[in-house]
A and B are shown apart, each in its own frame.
Chain A
Amino acid sequence: MTEPNETVQSQLSAFVDDELPKDETELLARRLSRDTELQQSMSRYLMIGEALRSPSQARLSRDFSSRVAAAIEQQNESGHVETAISVTAGKSASRAWLKPAIGMSLAAGVAAISLVTIHNLQSASGDTAAVRMAAANVHAALPNSTANSDVVPVATNAPSVPISAARLTNYVVAHSEFTSPLGHRNTTTGLVTGDQQTETDESVDEAGAAK
């Protein structure tokens, strides 16, 4: 998979910081609209961010989703991509998972996805209802969204609580029936060796890694 090059990263960062000139913003939007690999990369970063998000990680401002919707509305009316969307990132967002080599911040990913959605729908028909649908999708993807959605958020503020060893064993045994033969051997080996741990957020990345 192709990662966004440095220039595009810089543009996206500048966009997030509301520092990208208007003409470059429009160029960036056009590029995102036709570069499917870039869009896929943005989707992956967004997913990574969603998975890792916790109070100590990258954080979207609480009213982000409403400002995305407002920007979409403004875009629909003016035909321009607005750069009024701002996102704040927590200081500890420099976690190894999100290091620069990966590409860019969660915040930039969300903003880019919004841009893609806006531009694609504008190109297709300019249908206001479709744009509103896009806004709803953006709402649904955001953890702090106030939009009605049946997407169940991960309870990131809840304390880390392990499920009982008995229940976990039941799950792993049931799961092992649907693994590959090699995966089955590895899964049952994990049960037999008793190599079990409850992980803290900080140890997740390194968990299980042999020295």
Chain B
Amino acid sequence: MRLTGLKALCGVAYLMLASLATSPVWAEGDARNWLVRMSASLTERSYDGRFIHSSDTQSENLRIVHRNVNGKITERLVSLDGSGREYIRTNANTTYYMPDTRTTVVEDRVDNEGLLTLIPEYRAGLENYYDISVGAETMVLGRRAVLVTVQPKDEFRYGYRLWLDADNAMPLKSQLFNHHGKIVEQVAFAELSMKDGIPDADLQTRLNTSGYSMMRNEVRRHFVSPDSIGWRVSNLPPGFKLKLTRLQYMAGSKSPVRHMVYTDGLATVSVFIEPANSKEDQGSGLQRVGSVFAFHSDTAGFQVTAVGEVPPLTVKSIVGSLSRDTGTSQFSISASANAVVK
């Protein structure tokens, strides 16, 4: 009897070893490490590429030029057909050009840039809300690629299929899909060149912006403590936690806008709260910008809006359980980043 058991055990061990010899085995941490490498490549490498963005409503060619020189990031994203819009991001600001409406939006950046590294976290707890797996190697754009799947475990977040360059983890192709597996959006590179150097001219707009109206979000921006922001979400979707709170002065807003950022470690949702001032601020509704959903509602004299690359259910849930803390009348403003919630 014991011998039989030992034989069976050996058989299982043999099968396991044979399996190891024929296909790569990735531990959970390995799969997560691919995401870490991907984020590092997207941020730290310099590259110039053209990709096709597809959703159910349209398909559009875009060019992305990304340069990192000693930590100084400059990025230009241009629509090659359709609207001709551009988005240029530097360490000082982001500028968004809209030729179709002859408008420019400038967002100055004065916050601690280190904050950008807080999200995503790719912490071990991520697997509570996503199944992260690494599939077999395949070929994309003539390169060896590894398929990494980030499968959401519930309907409050999207999943990703990522075909990452096997050498540098750049996402050569990516799909965003919902809990039911339905593809929401796809980005696929048609050309991609990793660069050692990129000339300044490739990072500047070629639009003639004379006569454009400009909306500039003021530089003044403050972190505030979560206790003094005056609002809270009482019933957050599973896994989402408050990451930071701040006050922001925005073009077109008469008073500071409260901004709270929630994350599950991968997806983020921003909540913006400002006094309702006009008829435009009344009512509620759901809007979509690409894969980003925004849901707003006028509540208790305020317009509250949740924005995030999450399903509509998530932004609606968050707005629906937003609570105002009575008795909080003054903001406790601090110049440091101590409003980041650990």
Q: Which residue numbers of A lie inside 8 Å of B, CB to CB?
A: 1, 40, 44, 47-48, 50-52, 97, 140-141, 150-156, 158-183, 185-199, 201, 204-211
For the complex of A and B, 4 pairs with smallest distance between CB atoms: A190-B290, A161-B283, A181-B42, A175-B270
Check A182–B171 contact: CB distance below 8 A: yes
Docked complex Cα distance between A33 and B200 (Å):
64
B270-302 contacts to A (CB < 8 Å): 270, 272, 280-294, 296-300
- Residue of B whose beta carbon sits closest to that of A203: B286
Contacts of A192 in B (CB 8 A): 62, 77-79, 83, 85-87, 96
The segment from B14-22, B49-57, B330-338 that touches chain A is B49-57
Contacts of A193 in B (CB 8 A): 53, 58, 60, 62, 79, 82-83, 85, 290
Contacts of A206 in B (CB 8 A): 56
Cβ 8 A contact of B270, one of A52, A160, A171: A171
Check A194–B83 contact: CB distance below 8 A: yes
Docked complex Cα distance between A198 and B252 (Å):
21
Cβ 8 A contact of A170, one of B57, B78, B217, B322: B217
Q: Which residue numbers of B lie inside 8 Å of A, CB to CB?
A: 38-39, 42-43, 53-58, 60, 62, 64, 77-79, 82-83, 85-87, 89, 94, 96, 100-101, 103, 105, 107, 109, 111, 115-116, 118-120, 153-155, 160, 162, 171, 174, 176, 178, 182-187, 215, 217, 234-235, 237-238, 243-244, 248, 250-253, 259, 261, 263, 266-268, 270, 272, 280-294, 296-300, 303-305, 307-309, 312-313, 316-317, 319-326
Contacts of A195 in B (CB 8 A): 53, 55, 57-58, 60, 288-290
Check A208–B185 contact: CB distance below 8 A: yes
Docked complex Cα distance between A166 and B155 (Å):
30
Contacts of B294 in A (CB 8 A): 163, 168, 171-172
Check B250–A174 contact: CB distance below 8 A: yes
Cβ 8 A contact of B317, one of A47, A162, A172: A47
Nearest CB of chain B from residue A127's CB, rounded to whole Å: 23
Check B115–A51 contact: CB distance below 8 A: no
Q: What are 25 residue pairs bridging A and B, where the CB atoms are less than 8 Å apart in the complex?
A: A50-B235, A151-B234, A151-B322, A153-B299, A154-B284, A154-B319, A161-B284, A163-B281, A165-B101, A171-B305, A173-B107, A173-B217, A177-B107, A178-B118, A180-B39, A185-B64, A187-B289, A189-B53, A191-B96, A192-B77, A194-B79, A196-B288, A208-B290, A208-B293, A209-B182
Cβ 8 A contact of A185, one of B42, B86, B272: B42
Check A155–B107 contact: CB distance below 8 A: no
Knowing A182-B174, A187-B290, the reply to whether A208 touches B55 (Cβ < 8 A) is yes
Check A207–B305 contact: CB distance below 8 A: no
Knowing A181-B39, A188-B87, the reply to whether A162 touches B287 (Cβ < 8 A) is yes
Contacts of A183 in B (CB 8 A): 120, 267-268, 309
- Residue of A whose beta carbon sits closest to that of B162: A182
Knowing A47-B235, A190-B290, A195-B290, the reply to whether A182 touches B39 (Cβ < 8 A) is yes
Among A52, A186, A191, A208, find the residue whose CB has the most chain B CB atoms closer than 10 A: A208
Docked complex Cα distance between A153 and B281 (Å):
16
Among B55, B100, B248, B289, find the residue whose CB has the most chain A CB atoms closer than 10 A: B289
